Amino acid sequence: MTTPQQSPFMAHENIIAGNTLLYGAAGGEVFINGMAGERFCVRNSGATAVVEGIGDHGCEYMTGGTVVVLGKTGCNFAAGMSGGAAYVLDEMQLFDTLCNLDMVELESVWQREDKDILRELIERHLKWTFSKRARYILDRWPDMVGKFVKVIPIDYRKALEKMRAAERRYTETTPATEEVF
């Protein structure tokens, strides 16, 4: 979805997509040059979404997929979120007051993998929507990346860490002859 170029308003401050968008989405991608309404990506299990802001209850009961929010969120973000990840631009450092922290943790975007995923998705958002917001963020990337917060479910993180540890253990201790046969 793209805001018309001649539009007099700032896309990241105006709703152009309705409520319950991507409810139960199992896959696919969406890039929205503007805000979405309430309950964005509820029960998302595999879709990738980039949006410039959302209303209340975003990513509720999300079990998979990736969501990037380049602007404001409403309250109760990530309530019941058990999988997937979200990256939220937190310019005012108030996102923790809007996020339901019962099942998720917030962390800065500091790992190379997270930085790469985030930048690539914002670049694709710019490509598909010609977003002024995406251009602004990318032009100031070294300063802006530190303003993003990663939202990840606590149990999901633990499961990922166990899988990575087991994978490392297997590749570090398995002799080459066993791998061949």
Q: Which SS3 state, helix, strand or coil, does residue 118 take?
A: helix
Residue 177 confidence (pLDDT): 57
Using CA atoms, how far apart are residues 34 and 23, in angstroms rounded to an integer? 18
Q: Which SS3 state, helix, strand or coil, does residue 38 take?
A: coil
Residue 125: strand pairing partners: none
Residue 48: strand pairing partners: 29, 66
**What are the structural domains of the chain?**
11-154 (2.160.20.60)
Residue 1 confidence (pLDDT): 61
Using CA atoms, how far apart are residues 120 and 135, in angstroms rounded to an integer? 13
- Report the chain's terminal Cα–Cα distance, integer Å: 51
Q: Does the predicted model carry a pTM greater than 0.85?
A: yes
What does the pLDDT look like over 71-84, one tens digit per residue?
A: 999 999 999 999 99
